[in-house]
Amino acid sequence: MGRRALTLRDLTSEAASEGELRERIVRELGSEFQSCFRCLRCTSGCTSMKLLELRPHFVMNMVKLGLVEELISSGIVWTCALCLKCEERCPQEVSPSELITLLRNFSFQREENVPEAYLKVVSSVLETGFIQEPMEVVSREFEEFTRESLGLPRLVGPREAFSENLIELMTREAG
Amino acid sequence: MEVAVYWGCMIPTVEYAYELSLRATFPRLGVKLIDLKGVSCCGSPIKSVNRLAADYLALRNIALAEETGTEHLLVPCNGCYLSLSEALHHWRTDEELQGEMEKFLDKEGLTLEGGIKIVHTINFLHDIIGLEAVEKAVKKPLTGLRLVSHSGCHILRPSKILDVDDPERPRKLDDLIRALGAEVLEYPESLDCCGAGLLLSHPETAVSLSATKLRAIQGLGVDGLVDSCPACHMMFDARQETGARAIGYKLSLPVVYYTQLLGLTMGLDGRSLGLHLNQSPVEKLLERAQKTFP
Ligand code: SF4
Ligand code: SF4
């Protein structure tokens, strides 16, 4: 597959204003997402609450108050483990995890606070189709193995049109 | 029975033990696996940077699978299982998305019908192959072994879309382990997340989460932990030592894929099941198993 050096700039678009961000949230998640009545069920079972102090109901409320910029610049959206317990258990059927994911998308578009490892994964998927190339592994006895030496078939990735599609999707303004 | 299989990224690039053991065991249950060409990442990690691009990735893989004409698409990775199921749900319920995606798939020469049934290792074995057939394949039952299971998050939630098992009290993996002759314990932490979702952003916390769960399991005095997701497995197996350091507690718990355990009871050789690749002390479990074999 042809390789093209990519910068994060290539994949992002001009930053949207606060008002536009809120509009996009409502458009993509539906206005029902605002029906959170702060019962805290999401937060009480949140995987990231104890160690990273994530409180999904608080993220919901911040957005309701229009504090989207603050959420993005705080980096808090990257503390979610995406276990989806909050979405499963919310009595109002709103999804804090889906909101958090959308806010991550915003933070990617603005090149703000995106963890380096995510950027690496993105460029690997664009170049090879996969998050990483097949790796050499070591057994407990310190023998080295590859797919080939384990007798596993060769991995055949996608063709050119795939990365063109992916770049087009990632560079355009969503919505 | 022929089944298309979508391996995702983690299994074919590093978690070879899952691939080896699945390839070794499924034919013995009468299942012929059909590999796909030209597949890519399922979209799971990409969803965090661009939701639409994630749907495209998932749907293109499903379209490739549909070319095989099989009724089911087997997806052994939990993360991939969720991505593909979720994207297909979006596609089925959102006409605008359908039209949009058609353009992109068309450029790759792909069409999506959307009729293929997506299954995970657990519900495929439990619901389609059936516990009885699994039991019948067992030559060396694991009598006397005490085990616990970890189903993982992304085959259980959101239950609005997924139907592998009960989201608050999954039992199928336990039933499948019992079918191999072992005893299975329930434990309060069974739904705790492995932490893999934090590996790219907060790796220290990620391993603390998996290690905390391992510590609880170790406290039960069981012979091992059984899982069936490459991400969860990597956290519990390959990252067990790192996790132990992170929480300052000595961990020494055998962790195996269900398909590895299944292969053992079928009488298959450990290497053909990738058991030499596990990084956790699986010898302890293997020795116990040997003792129980008649
Ligand atoms: S569980 Fe739902 S309604 Fe309750 S606080 Fe969380 S988001 Fe709001
Ligand atoms: S998905 Fe994220 S916010 Fe929701 S419970 Fe899990 S860690 Fe918490």
- Model confidence pLDDT, tens digit, residues B164-188: 999 999 999 999 999 999 999 999 9
Whether residue B135 sits in one domain with residue B267: yes
CATH number assigned to the domain comprising residue A25: 1.10.1060.10
pLDDT interval class at A173 (50, 70, 90): low
Residue of A nearest to B82 (CA): A84
Query: Does residue A98 lie within any of the structural domains?
Result: yes
The pLDDT value given to residue A108: 95
**Which of B119, B142, B177 is the endpoint of a domain?**
B119
Average pLDDT along chain A: 90
Same domain, A98 and A170: no
pLDDT above 60 (res A4): no
Q: Residue A175 — pLDDT band, cuts 50, 70, 90?
A: very low
Element (H, E) at B74: strand B72-74
Note the ligand closest to the C-alpha atom of B195: 2
Instruction: Supply the range of the domain harboring residue A30.
Output: 16-110
Distance CA B141, CA A56 (A): 45
Closest atom, ligand 1, to C-alpha of A35: 3
For residue B23, what are its two tokens?
Answer: 């390839």
Q: Are residues A158 and A92 in the same domain?
A: no
Question: CA gyration radius for chain B?
Answer: 19
Place of tokens 């293997």: B286
**Do B162 and B282 sit in the same domain of this protein?**
yes
Q: How far is CA B65 from CA B3, B33, B112, B149, B285, in A?
A: 9, 12, 10, 30, 37
In a domain, A3, yes or no: no
Average pLDDT score over residue span A20-34: 89
Last residue of a domain, one of A110, A128, A158: A110
Q: Does A39 contact B at CB distance below 8 Å?
A: no
User: Are B135 and B40 found together in one domain?
Assistant: no
User: Would an 8 Å CB–CB cutoff place B86 in contact with chain A?
Assistant: no
Q: What is the mean pLDDT of residues A65-89?
A: 95
pLDDT at A32: 85
Number of domains present in the structure of chain B: 2
Query: Is residue A84 located within the same domain as residue A142?
Result: no
Instruction: Find the DSSP H helices in chain B.
Output: 10-13, 16-25, 51-66, 78-93, 95-107, 121-123, 131-137, 172-178, 203-218, 230-236, 240-247, 258-265, 282-292
Put simply, the answer to whether A87 touches B153 (Cβ < 8 Å) is no
CATH code of the domain containing B182: 3.40.50.11810
Same-domain pairing of A150 and A80: no
Same-domain pairing of B107 and B151:
no
B143, pLDDT greater than 50: yes
In a domain, B126, yes or no: no
For position B276, what pLDDT does the model report? Answer: 98
The overall longest dimension of chain A from CA atoms, in Å, is 58
**Which residue among B38, B191, B193 places its CB closest to the CB of A81?**
B193
Q: Are residues A43 and A128 in the same domain?
A: no
Domain that holds residue B198: 131-292
Q: Verify that B16 and B52 share a domain, yes or no.
A: yes
Count of domains forming chain A: 2
**B175 CA distance to ligand 2 middle (Å):** 28
List the single residue in B14, B35, B50 with the smallest CB-CB distance to A135.
B14
Q: Predicted confidence band at B291 (pLDDT cuts at 50, 70, 90)?
A: confident
Alpha carbon distances (Å) from A36 to A46, A47, A60: 16, 19, 7
pLDDT at position A127 is: 95
Residues B193, B280 share a domain: yes
- B45: CATH: 1.20.1050.140
Per-residue pLDDT tens digits for B190-249: 999 999 999 999 999 999 999 999 999 999 999 999 999 999 999 999 999 999 999 999
Q: Are residues B92 and B213 in the same domain?
A: no
Which of A 50-109 lie inside 8 A of B, CB atoms? 51-52, 78-85, 87-88, 95, 101-102, 104-105, 108
Residue A52 and residue A104 in one domain: yes
Helix (H) or strand (E) holding A29: helix A18-29
Q: Is B227 helix (H, G, I), strand (E, B) or coil?
A: strand
Whether residue B269 lies inside any domain: the answer is: yes
pLDDT value at residue A20: 85
Give B240-248's long-range contacts (Cβ < 8 A, gap of 24+): B240/B210, B240/B211, B240/B214, B240/B279, B240/B280, B241/B279, B242/B207, B243/B207, B243/B208, B243/B210, B243/B211, B243/B214, B244/B211, B244/B214, B246/B204, B246/B207, B246/B208, B246/B211, B247/B208, B247/B211, B247/B212, B247/B215
Query: Are residues A123 and A6 in contact, defined by beta-carbon separation less than 8 angstroms?
Result: yes
End-to-end distance of chain A based on CA atoms, in angstroms? Answer: 30
Residue B84 lies in a domain: yes
Q: A168 in a domain, yes or no?
A: yes
pLDDT more than 90, % of chain B: 98
Judge if B145 and B187 occupy the same domain: yes
A65 to chain B nearest CA, in Å? 23
User: For chain B, what's the residue count?
Assistant: 294
Q: In a 10 Å sphere around its CB, with 0-12 CB exposed, 13-18 middle and 19+ buried, how is residue A53 labelled?
A: exposed
| Shared-domain flag, residues A128 and A85 | no
- B176 shares its domain with B51: no
Q: Is residue B124 part of a domain?
A: no
What's the pLDDT tens digit per position in A84-108? 999 999 999 999 999 999 999 999 9
Contacts of A56 (CB under 8 A, 6+ apart): A42, A43, A46, A80, A86, A96, A97, A100
Specify the pLDDT at position B173: 98
pTM above 0.90, yes or no: yes
Rounded to whole angstroms, the Cα distance separating B77 from B121 reads 8
Mean of all residue pLDDT scores within chain B: 97
Please report the ipTM that was assigned to this predicted complex: 0.95
Nearest to A130 among B41, B53, B159 (CB): B41
Interface of A with B in 136-155 (CB under 8 A): 137, 139-141, 143, 145, 147, 150, 152-153, 155
Tell me the C-alpha distance between B38 and B11, whole Å.
16
Which pLDDT value is given to residue B293?
A: 59
The ligand minimizing its distance to the Cα of A76 is: 2
Q: Of B234, B291, B224, whose CA–CA distance to B10 is shortest?
A: B234
Q: Are residues A96 and A158 in the same domain?
A: no
Q: Are residues A26 and A103 in the same domain?
A: yes
Give, rounded to a whole angstrom, the gap between the first and last alpha carbons of chain B. 32
Tens digit of each residue's pLDDT (9 = 90 or more) over B240-279? 999 999 999 999 999 999 999 999 999 999 999 999 999 9
Confidence at residue A13, expressed as pLDDT on a 0 to 100 scale: 47
Considering the domain architecture, whether residues B101 and B174 belong to the same structural domain is answered as no
Q: Which residue of A has its CA nearest to B160?
A: A88
Residues A102 and A28 in one domain: yes
Note whether residue A31 is domain-resident: yes
- Most A-contacting residue of B15, B47, B50, B192 (CB-CB within 10 A), to test interface: B50
